[in-house]
Amino acid sequence: METAKSYGAKNSRIIFRYMLTRLITVLIPQLVILVPSSVFLEATLGFFNIKMPYPTWGTMIYQATMRKGLFYTPYWMLQPIALLLLTGLGFTLFGSALERILNPRLKNE
């Protein structure tokens, strides 16, 4: 960036050409890794019976616990819980794979 400043490049060129290209390789994997936390947050809100206009995994788990799904029909609870865990695991593995591919500092390790 100092070289670009020395030959008189504009600030917008420095930002888009040098800074943004280096930040994208770090930001995209981090955003993918953050997806499971938002999914778990939404499921937690649904489990605490926060009213939402659409069905979610959290509301499915809540309705199963209210209808005694834990003792009599546990598959009502196990299916949404398993899907939540698989979604979280999938996005986490995908994010870590993207990080290994895109982040040049991790290639040597």
- 52 belongs to a structural domain: yes
- 91 belongs to a structural domain: yes
Determine the pLDDT at residue 1.
63
Determine the pLDDT at residue 49.
86
Residue range(s) defining the domain that contains residue 68? 29-104
Mean pLDDT of the chain: 83
- 87 belongs to a structural domain: yes
- 45 belongs to a structural domain: yes
Whether pLDDT at 88 is above 90 = yes
Q: What is the pTM of this model?
A: 0.73
How many domains does the chain divide into?
1
- 59 belongs to a structural domain: yes
- 57 belongs to a structural domain: yes
- 22 belongs to a structural domain: no
- 9 belongs to a structural domain: no
What proportion of the chain, given as a percentage, has pLDDT over 90?
Answer: 25
> Which value, in Å, is the radius of gyration of the alpha carbons in the chain?
22
Phi, psi of 79 (to 5 degrees): -65, -50
